[in-house]
Every structure is written in C-alpha cells, then in structure tokens.
Amino acid sequence: MRRLLGVLSVALALAVCSASAWSQEGILTFSPEPAVLEISPGGRAAGHVAIENASPREADHIELTWTGSTEFALDPTPEGVAVLGAFAATSVEFTIAATRTATLGETRGSFEVIYTYCIGDLCYQIVESVPVALRVAAAAQTPPAVAAGAADAAAAEAPTHVSWRWIAFALAALLVVPAALLRREGRARVLLAAALLVAGGAALGLGVSLDQHKQAQAVGAVLCTSCVGIETVQTLSPRLSVAQAAAVDGLAKPVDLLVFYAPWCRSCPYAEGLVDLIASRNPLVRYRLVNAEVERGLAVEHGVTRAGRTVVPAILRVDTGEVLFGAENLGDRLVTLLEERT
Amino acid sequence: MKLAHGRRVVQGAGILFGLFGVTGIGMTHILFPGLHCYACPWAITVCPVGLVQNLVIFGTVPFFWLGAMIVYGLVAARGFCGWFCPFGTLNDLLSFRKVRIRSAFSYGKFVVLLGTIIGAWALTDTVFCKLCPAASLEASLPYLFLGVARVNGPFLIHMATLGLSLVGMVLIARFWCRYLCPMGAILALFNPVSLLQLEWRSAECTGCETCVAACPMGIDPRREHDGHNCIKCGACTESCAPDCLALRYGPRRKQ
Ligand code: SF4
Ligand code: SF4
Ligand code: SF4
C-alpha cells in the first residue's frame, strides 16, 4: 500500500512535469527560403527566413547571425524583429555574400537566431540554429531551384517534433516505475536494468544532441541572486526616492558603469532599469549592459565572479573596480557607490 | 582496510569533487550524483534538483537530465548517498542516534520531490532551492563571507532550514536523507535495479539483529535491503557476525 503511494506520487510528479513543460514549450519556427540558396564565388544571393509564432506569447528581439562557414557572410546584417506577437508570422530578408574562394559544390551553413520571450516576470533567451543549404556554382545566373515543397515539409514537421520529444521522454521515464517497484532478483531485474541502460544512454545522447548539456552548464555557471535564495526577486519598476534623486543630480564627475545581467535573471531588469533611470537623470553617469553568459571573460576580468561563479545582477564601477551584487536596497547602495571619490 | 574506512575515503573524494572549483576549473556539464548546490562558489557540477526545477520553468523536455539520473541509478542508486554525497556525509558525521525509521514518514522525500516540481511549475520559481539546507551551507554562508549575500529574509530562512536539519540529524541519524531529500528520492527509485546491491543470505542469519542496530537509516537490513531507504553504506555488513549481509556489484546474484 505504502509502496503504491510512493509510486503514485512519482508518476504524478512525472505527469505534472510533462504537462507543465508541454504548456511552455518553444515558440518560434524558422524556415529559410529558398531551401537551397544558389550562389557563385564572389557573388551574392538573397532569401528570407519565414518566422512563425505558434504560441500565445510574444517573442522579442529576434536577431539573425551567420554561424556557418566563414566563406559566407551576411551582408548587410539583416534587420532584427523587435516584437512578434502571439500567433503572428513575419519574415526576415537576408543577403549572403560568398568569398571569391568559396568552394564549389553543395554545402550547409546555419544561422543562429536569438530571441527572448517572457512568461509573467520570467524571461528566457532562446538560441537556435537554423540550417540552410547552399549550392556554390560558377554560373551565377542559374534560376533558384523550386524547393518550396521541402520548406513546407519542414514547417509542417516543426510542431510535431515537440510532442515527439514528450512521448520519447514519457516512454523512458515509464521504465523507472517498474524499476522502483521491482522486488525480486533474477531475470526481470537484469532485463529491466538493460532496458534502462539503453533508455538512459539514448536520453543522454538525445540530450547532448539538443545541446541540453550546455543548457545545464549555463544554468550552473551564472548565479542569479534570487535563484537559490540569496535575496528575494525584485520585480517592481525602478524608482528613485527624493533624496536619491537629489544625490544623483549632485554628481559632478563622470562615472562609467557596467551592468552584468543574464537573460533569464528576474531581478536584472530592475537593476538595469534603475541604472538607466540614473543615467537619464544625470548624463555624467554612463553605462553599458553586459550579458554575463556571453562575455564571461569580462566578468572574470572585472571581478564580477566570486570564487569562480559569476553572480548577476552585478553593477561595476569601472574606475574604482567596486561591484554591487543583487537588487535588494539597490537605490541606496548605488548612490553610495556613485558618490564615492576616486 | 575495513569497509568503513574505505567509505570515508570515497566520501572524502566526493567532497573534493564537489569543491574542485578551488583549482580554478569552472562549471562543467556534469550533474552531481547527490545533493550538492551548483551555487556553491567552488562547485564544478550542476545540482540535479536545482536543474530540473529550472527545466520545468523553461519548459524543456529534460532528456539529458533523465539520462544522467538513469545512469547514476544503474551505477549505484542510493549508493551515492552512502558513499559520495557531501551533504549525506554531513548527515553521516552527525549520526549518533540510529533510531528506527518511521517508514510512513520516509515517503516524505517523495512528497518533497513532487512539491519541488509542482512548486517550480506553479510559481515559475525554484521554490525548493530557497529552502534547501544544502544551499544554506554551500551557498548562503560562503556568499555571506564573499560579500555577495547579506543577512536578510531569505538568508534567515536558509539558516532556519539548515538549523532545523542539523538538529534533526543530531537527534535522528541521517534525518535529512531518511525523510526529506528529493535527490535521495530520485536515486531511491533505482535502488531495486542498481548494480550495487545489498544482499542477505537468510540461511546463515541467527536473528541477532545487530544489523538493525547498526543501520544509520534505521531500517531492518534483512527485510528492506533492496527498498528505497537503504543507502548501501555497508554498516550492517560489518556488524553481521555470521557474514550473511554483503554488498555486491554486478547484475546477478552470486550463488
Ligand atoms: S539550492 Fe539545493 S536544490 Fe537548489 S541547486 Fe542548490 S543544492 Fe540543488
Ligand atoms: S539523501 Fe540526499 S542529502 Fe542524503 S546522501 Fe542522498 S542525495 Fe545526499
Ligand atoms: S541496510 Fe545496511 S547498507 Fe543499507 S543503509 Fe542500513 S546499514 Fe547501510
């Protein structure tokens, strides 16, 4: 009876875990067109990436960069999309330029797309790779191949792979239930262990192929102050008290600040907003936003890491090297930081 | 070398591994096979409980996480609790009173695991981490001395959970591991299939029950040697005079 209770609770946990993630799974699909880009060495080819938002959430700051072979480059840098509303679609035009020495033949490249979306106060940055096929041919004027069919197929496939993942996950996770219930030695145990080994190996492999190991590392590498309860999340809109505003107005020397943040950090927008508020009050205060996940080196160099762990939000005063961590009571702490003489 | 000494050495290695970041190595892709906070300034590994909360919030299908848990489950399951987990080692060092387990309460850890996941989903926040005593010890306190944390509400909550767990550990051996640890709950699921098994040969048992007195988890090793509460520490095997309890590694029972 008790054993049954244990198993039931676990099954329920898995179900909730699945359901929750199902309801929050990924939101944009990208399909480059034409499916195969015809390009000549030294030449250029134009196309567009169709972007579809299949979710009830808004996607922000969609940017496209080239991460394929250096024989090609985006020229000019395509314009990003500031906001893509729920269930909306758009497309981004791009032009790819090939170097004169580009190798002839078929090759593959990829765009890296970055965008963010928010659920409540919590925002995620999604980085995805969008593969494109290129055909480098000496004659520049070959008409582009008719490949709309392939692109359609890719677009149609995109929504289903999400549920595929969940089915695969549920199948693997279901194996755990008999494992937990097993009470007898013998063949059943060996078989179950073998099945679990296969499932575990497959899950690991799939996880790695989806870059989930990097995601795990990213979660561990940058620590947000509210994540494990160093302070509470600060989501109010930033404000300065009268005394703080007066102190900011009274600053007479230029100060440069670096504001370290992570895209998923919930207190960071508050810290960013407060610094922006101060900078707009007094132009002597200048600042730059630094994504601590991307510019890790900068964080290390400026001592925004503590014993190897980068902590966000962190505000660095460049000339004194002083750092403020967290968002709690930040107004007063910032004013003190700004008022200090060098 | 006695088993107990060997276990201390392995536990020491677990702590070294947990704090390997002092060498300057940053975060790796490895999940820790135990409850060890990724926010610890010297951690080079990701806490599975912390990670899975984040994945629930992100809405990621956690293949990598599941795969790692299955592999750890097969390799040793709760053997990691008995032999490797640094927070478990702390529990161990305070194991003075090996009172019998309250089996009903021992399902508390599954409830905590469930609550951890539901909490992360419902509140889109790492709720468990804010109460986690491992984080109190491995993150809150170090960061206080490193000038990142301040004595504030969340800090005091952490100190309270750590204090309560410590008191629990002193009064009841392995208190945290017995009743509350969600990581222990995950590893416990794999106890029956793990390659590391505690074996009991009933024929030789004299019924002296010294093993029951020796077990830090407070279980009866004869009846629950493959249940979810055994951490495969081997304390019972050393206490058993006729040698009818033994740790074994491999898929099959030796005849
Ligand atoms: S707070 Fe606890 S559960 Fe969260 S990451 Fe740290 S050790 Fe893991
Ligand atoms: S039950 Fe939790 S804290 Fe105890 S040893 Fe296992 S993982 Fe570590
Ligand atoms: S039954 Fe034996 S191996 Fe298992 S926890 Fe108790 S003493 Fe350790």
Count of the separate structural domains present in chain A: 3
**Mind listing the pLDDT tens digit for each residue in A55-107?**
767 788 888 888 877 788 888 888 888 888 776 778 888 888 888 777 777 88
The pLDDT assigned to A149 comes to: 41
C-alpha pair distances (Å), A326 with each of A61, A120, A225, A257, B52: 25, 20, 6, 15, 24
Write the ipTM. 0.88
Structural contact between residues A122 and A267, judged by C-beta atoms closer than 8 angstroms: no
The pLDDT assigned to A282 comes to: 92
B90 lines ligand 3 (CB under 6 A): no
- Quick one: which atom of ligand 3 is closest to the CA of B245? 2
Structural contact between residues B195 and B250, judged by C-beta atoms closer than 8 angstroms: yes
C-alpha pair distances (Å), B220 with each of A4, A56, B89, B121, B184: 20, 54, 21, 37, 19
Do A116 and A175 fall within a single domain?
A: no
Structural contact between residues A230 and B140, judged by C-beta atoms closer than 8 angstroms: yes
Confidence of residue A304 (pLDDT cuts 50, 70, 90): confident
Q: Do B67 and A326 touch (CB under 8 A)?
A: no
| Cβ atoms within 10 Å of B2's Cβ, excluding its own | 9
Q: Using CA atoms, how far apart are residues B177 and B248, in angstroms rounded to an integer?
A: 22
**Mind listing the pLDDT tens digit for each residue in A270-287?**
999 999 999 999 999 999
Do A138 and A189 fall within a single domain?
A: no
**Mind listing the pLDDT tens digit for each residue in B105-126?**
999 999 999 999 999 989 888 8
Q: How many Cβ pairs within 8 Å bridge chains A and B?
A: 261
Of A294, A336, A287, give the one whose Cα is nearest residue A312: A294
| Cβ atoms within 10 Å of A107's Cβ, excluding its own | 18
Ligand 1 centroid to Cα of residue B133, in Å, is 8
Do A36 and A141 fall within a single domain?
A: yes
The pLDDT assigned to A186 comes to: 75
Nearest listed ligand to the Cα of residue B237: 3
Residue A12 forms part of a structural domain: no
The pLDDT assigned to A262 comes to: 86
- With a CB cutoff of 8 Å and minimum separation 6, the contacts of A266 are A121, A122, A123, A224, A226, A233, A234, A235
Q: Tell me which of A157, A185, A218 is where a domain ends.
A: A157
Do A35 and A136 fall within a single domain?
A: yes
C-alpha pair distances (Å), B46 with each of A60, A260, A293, B88, B181: 29, 22, 16, 17, 17
Q: Residue A331: which CATH number?
A: 3.40.30.10
Confidence of residue A158 (pLDDT cuts 50, 70, 90): very low
Instruction: For residue A329, give its domain range.
Output: 242-339
Do A257 and A314 fall within a single domain?
A: yes
Q: Using CA atoms, how far apart are residues A36 and B48, in angstroms rounded to an integer?
A: 42
Return the residue whose CA atom lies nearest to atom 7 of ligand 2.
Answer: B34
Q: What value does the mean pLDDT of chain A take?
A: 79
Residue A42 forms part of a structural domain: yes
| DSSP 8-state code for residue B65 | H
The pLDDT assigned to A154 comes to: 43
Do A80 and A123 fall within a single domain?
A: yes
Pairing relationship of beta strands A309-312 and A222-224 according to DSSP bridges: parallel
Give yes or no for residue A24 having a pLDDT over 60.
no
Q: Which domains does chain B have, with CATH numbers?
A: 2-188 (no CATH), 195-248 (3.30.70.20)
Prediction pTM value: 0.73
Do A139 and A197 fall within a single domain?
A: no
Q: Do A229 and B31 touch (CB under 8 A)?
A: no
DSSP secondary structure of B155-200: HHHHHHHHHHHHHHHHHSTTHHHHHT-HHHHHHHTTTTT-SEEEEE
Confidence of residue A267 (pLDDT cuts 50, 70, 90): confident
Q: Which has the higher per-residue pLDDT, B244 or A148?
A: B244
| Cα angle for residues A199, A200, A206 (degrees, 5° grid) | 85
Q: Using CA atoms, how far apart are residues A136 and A134, in angstroms rounded to an integer?
A: 6
